């Protein structure tokens, strides 16, 4: 039995039966049977159906936002942004599909017709997390369908209604039966589904351990897997940065969604000339946050997803302090902060170094360490001193310097004067333990298709 325990008040918010072997078999058989007709459906028609689905989803935006708050705790003032982001990404991928999926035609060669066509894998199995349940899954679901694949979605047990909302939108749009399906599955049955020969590609977003489990499950199969596995994303505030802008954006980048973002800011390096002013401004703004019931107006910091997640962050902070770091926020300033609960006050620490888990291990919560640096070279060395490489952000007035430094940073995305945002026109990818593969942009269609070459010699 699946039970979604709401972090808002601890009650069971959603309860569902888990599907077993018979349901997996039925879903995969239906997906395979629907595949041929869906692949043969003209792309323009697939686009029209998916636009209708996106419109149906957006039309239910207020209800979707509210239930998202109850499922995972993000404040109600912020969850509508997930619906807007879903619309932005889905619409962009729909718009660029004809160009991205067009035949690749090399230079003409007398007597031959040659081109590369992008073919669907068949069934794409999407495994999605709870922290941004629509913004992670849409990256694979919509482009996979555009490319002619059928999709089977397994969503997190914390956000089961998200899978059901997809199905509702696709039904409203008139998507053919079997083209999109979802199942609520245990970990063991998720592995069973991945191993099935009818699955042609797996798109997974989650932890490093989860990504390793996906690779292990697919070890004896020659299919691809997209793995988006999180990060320990750094920011560097150069001496020429706009201080007020850097403070405002980095506080938001660190604490939005209670820090539960794979591309949220998790460590900050500040040039010594701005360090003291930056820390003061960062702490002052953090103290203005309102931790509490996320269904109430004015709350901008909700509970973490569960008490154990909050305890993990508390443990990182306590360890850092024990090793010499200083915490600059008194948790008593946040009345809702309670030990043993998902409600956790934000924390800012200085005197930190990379021997502390807070600066090396993914925190995934509202705690941030800030270090002073003397030069660009020191900042780059520290930014690269990580097993992760998803995004990195540089605050500077010098775009040329940002580009030069960006070439040296081991990361999938380099930001300047912003953070924690996915532009659907750009490839979303990571290096090192942040995973492999790519979603979004025209490049995102490449992993969801396979190339097929046509080499036709004309009759002479």
Is 133 in a helix, a strand, or coil?
helix
- 228 catalytic? Reply is yes
Measured from the Cβ of residue 56, the count of other Cβ atoms closer than 10 Å reads 17
Pairing of strands 438-439, 413-416: unpaired
DSSP letter (8 states) at residue 229: -
Distance CA 204, CA 215 (A): 10
Catalytic-labelled residue, pool 4, 67, 82, 262: 262
Q: Are 72 and 4 in contact (CB under 8 A)?
A: no
- 319 catalytic? Reply is no
Dihedral Cα 414, 418, 421, 425, nearest 10 deg? -60
Q: What are phi and psi of 452, to 5 degrees?
A: -130, 120
Q: How far is CA 291 from the centre of its chain?
A: 24
Catalytic-labelled residue, pool 82, 228, 266, 446: 228
Distance CA 261, CA 305 (A): 12
Name residues whose C-beta falls within 8 Å of residue 387's C-beta, 6 or more positions apart in sequence.
Answer: 232, 360, 432, 433
Distance CA 339, CA 112 (A): 72
Is 447 in a helix, a strand, or coil?
helix
Tokens of 143: 């482009």
Is 263 in a helix, a strand, or coil?
coil
Distance CA 54, CA 64 (A): 13
Tokens of 351: 């005197």
Strands (E), 62-215: 112-120, 123-127, 150-154, 180-182, 199-205
Residue reference for tokens 């019931």: 293
Distance CA 191, CA 136 (A): 20
Tell me which residues are annotated as active site: 228, 262
């Amino acid at each position: 039995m699946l039970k979604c325990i709401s972090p808002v008040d601890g009650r069971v918010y959603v309860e569902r039966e888990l599907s077993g072997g018979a349901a997996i078999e039925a879903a995969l058989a239906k997906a395979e049977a629907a595949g041929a007709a869906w692949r043969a459906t003209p792309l323009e028609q697939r686009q029209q159906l998916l636009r209708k689905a996106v419109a149906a989803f957006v039309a239910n935006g207020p209800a979707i936002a509210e239930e998202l708050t109850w499922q995972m705790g993000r404040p109600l003032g912020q969850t509508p942004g997930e619906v807007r982001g879903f619309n932005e990404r889905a619409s962009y991928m729909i718009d660029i599909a004809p160009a991205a999926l067009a035949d690749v035609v090399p230079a003409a060669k007398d007597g031959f017709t040659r081109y590369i066509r992008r073919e669907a894998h068949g069934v794409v199995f999407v495994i999605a997390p709870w922290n941004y349940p629509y913004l992670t899954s849409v990256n694979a679901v919509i482009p996979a369908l555009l490319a002619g694949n059928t999709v089977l979605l397994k969503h997190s047990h914390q956000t089961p209604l998200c899978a059901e909302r997809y199905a509702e939108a696709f039904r409203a749009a008139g998507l053919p039966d079997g083209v999109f399906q979802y199942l609520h599955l245990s970990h063991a049955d998720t592995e069973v589904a991945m191993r099935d020969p009818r699955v042609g590609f797996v798109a997974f977003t989650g932890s490093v351990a989860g990504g390793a489990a996906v690779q292990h499950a697919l070890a004896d199969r020659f299919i691809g897997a997209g793995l988006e596995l999180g990060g320990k994303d750094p920011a560097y505030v150069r001496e020429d940065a706009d201080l007020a802008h850097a403070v405002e954006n980095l506080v938001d980048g660190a604490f939005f969604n209670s820090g539960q973002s794979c591309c949220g800011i998790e460590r900050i390096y500040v040039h010594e000339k701005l360090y003291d002013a930056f820390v003061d401004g960062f702490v002052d703004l953090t103290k203005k946050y309102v931790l509490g019931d996320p269904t109430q107006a004015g709350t901008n910091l909700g509970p973490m997803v569960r008490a154990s997640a909050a305890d993990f962050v508390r443990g990182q902070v306590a360890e850092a302090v024990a090793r010499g770091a200083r915490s600059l926020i008194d948790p008593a300033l946040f009345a809702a902060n309670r030990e043993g609960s998902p409600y956790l006050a934000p924390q800012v620490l200085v005197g930190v170094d990379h021997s502390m888990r807070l600066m090396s291990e993914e925190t995934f919560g509202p705690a941030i360490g800030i270090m002073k640096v003397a030069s660009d070279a020191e900042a780059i060395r520290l930014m690269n001193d990580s097993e992760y490489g998803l995004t990195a952000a540089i605050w500077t007035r010098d775009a040329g310097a940002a580009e030069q430094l960006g070439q040296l940073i081991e990361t999938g995305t380099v930001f300047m004067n912003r953070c924690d945002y996915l532009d659907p026109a750009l490839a979303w990818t990571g290096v090192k333990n942040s995973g492999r593969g790519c979603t979004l942009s025209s490049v995102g269609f490449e992993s969801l298709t396979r190339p097929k070459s046509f080499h036709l010699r004309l009759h002479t």
